[in-house]
Copies of this chain bind each other. A is one copy, B any other.
Amino acid sequence: MTIKDIARLAGVSVSTVSRVLNDHPDVSDTAKEKVRAIVKEYNYIPNTSARELGKSTSENIGVVVRGMSNPFYTKIITEIGDKIERAGYTMVMQQIGANDDEIFAAAKMERDKKLLGIIFLGGRLNYSKKQLSSINVPFVCCTFNNQYGDVDKSDYSSVCIDDNQAAHDAVEYLYKEGHRKIAVLLAGPEDGSVSQVRFEGYIRALKDFEIELDENLIISINSFNIADAYEGMKTWLAEKHEFTALFAISDNMAMGAMKAIREAGMNVPNDVAVIAIDGIEASEYMNPVLTTLCQPMEKMGAEAVRLMVDIIKGEKTHKHILLPTILRQGESLKMVQ
């Protein structure tokens, strides 16, 4: 079944079929009905490749998401899709694996789908100018920026929380409750990811509060996995370091860690206070409920689209937005208000 068959069956030309398929004006009602009837009868589905190939422009905005099924992105994606739709564009989403190259994926998608712009959801923080030269449309980084790369701030937009400050805040909350032996659970550590930024915030906080950095309290694992966090924490706990609080650089890792702490016979928050950053849904259902600094997911998605659309519509200057986190006062850290 091709558009040609439909045209023949409906007794019209292919262009007429194409027109009704694409809701173009200037088609007689009779023709419209006729075509629609045949399309329905034969269960005809236009070929996407041919469609995209034939078209010279699009109203597509690409979204490339690193890591499938990251619950953290789900809400943001929903919001992004919604806002893109509302602005009259079409979202084209592409999920890529943890080890895939988002720049390549974006470049490919840009050409294939004739994108007007690209929103990156999660990604490396160290793109180089050269790598990015393969992308020829404006892009905005959502949930991260490119602080370790050599790309000019004026060449792209971004919207994210101030990860360094969030980590600083987290440590400050612990500090204010009297904690001085604050362990940190991170991935990397020097992996050029958001983990590193947050770790730097931890370091900065220690300095500000005049706590000496204790290498023994740095728990470094190789991924952001909950299982790895659990194992890493377990191993570390077996070494019997003295500590009263844990700052996990992500909710997910905190969840793994809390299980290890529990199994080691310690109580959260009585023996060990735990705080993290992210605010994913699952950590709300932990026992105790995780105290964490939430990223404003909806807001983030909405802002990313706003920036994107502005630029598509002619705005010349790229912007970089830092959104504040919101404290979720759970049960993993006793706070004396």
Q: A: which residues have CB within 8 A of B?
A: 43, 45, 47-50, 52-53, 68-71, 73-74, 77, 95, 104, 107-108, 111-112, 133-134, 226-227, 230, 255-256, 258-259, 262, 281-282, 284-289
Contacts and interface: CB of A to CB of B under 8 A. Distances in A.
B48 A108 contact: yes
Copies of this protein chain in the complex: 2
Contact of A43 (B133, B227, B285): B133
A223 B104 CA distance: 37
A281 B227 CA distance: 9
A309 to B, nearest CB: 22
Contacts of A259: 284-285, 287, 289
Interface centre among A43, A49, A134, A289 (most CB of B within 10 A): A49
B286 A47 contact: no
A77 B281 CA distance: 23
Contacts of A255: 282, 285
Contacts of A134: 43, 45
Nearest to A74: B69
Contact of A262 (B49, B256, B287): B287
In this complex, the member of A48, A53, A227, A285 whose beta carbon has the largest number of chain B beta carbons within 10 angstroms is A285
A53 B288 CA distance: 55
Contacts of A289: 259
Contacts of A286: 285-287
A77 B69 CA distance: 11
A45 B133 contact: no
4 tightest Cβ-Cβ pairs between the two chains A and B: A49-B49, A69-B69, A287-B287, A49-B53
Nearest to A45: B108
A108 B133 CA distance: 34
A41 to B, nearest CB: 12
A74 to B, nearest CB: 5
11 contacts: A43-B133, A43-B134, A45-B104, A48-B112, A68-B68, A68-B77, A69-B69, A95-B95, A286-B286, A286-B287, A287-B287
B285 A230 contact: yes
Contacts of A285: 226, 230, 255-256, 258-259, 286
Contacts of A258: 285, 287
Given A262-B287, A285-B259, A286-B286, A47 B112 contact: yes
Contacts of A226: 281-282, 285
A330 to B, nearest CB: 12
A45 B111 contact: yes
A45 B110 CA distance: 10
Contacts of A281: 226-227
Given A43-B107, A45-B104, A285-B286, 7 more contacts: A47-B112, A48-B108, A69-B69, A226-B281, A255-B285, A259-B287, A282-B282
Contacts of A95: 68, 95
Contacts of A230: 285
